[in-house]
Homo-oligomer: A and B are copies of this chain.
Amino acid sequence: MDLVDALGQLSFEVQGALAEIAGKHDLSLVQTRLLGVLRDREPTMQELGRHLGLDKSSVTGLVLRAQRRGLVIRTASELDRRSAHVIITEDGLRLASAVADEFARWIAANVAAVLAPAEQRELTRLVKKVLSS
Which residues of A approach B to under 8 Å, CB–CB?
Answer: 1-4, 6-16, 18, 33, 53, 103-104, 107, 110-115, 119-120, 122-124, 126-131, 133
Given contacts A13-B131, A131-B13, contact A8 B4 (CB under 8 A): no
Q: Are A10 and B11 in contact (CB under 8 A)?
A: yes
**Nearest chain B CB to A52 CB, angstrom units:** 11
Q: Are A14 and B7 in contact (CB under 8 A)?
A: yes
Given contacts A115-B126, A115-B130, contact A14 B8 (CB under 8 A): yes
Q: Are A114 and B127 in contact (CB under 8 A)?
A: no
Given contacts A14-B11, A15-B15, contact A3 B112 (CB under 8 A): yes
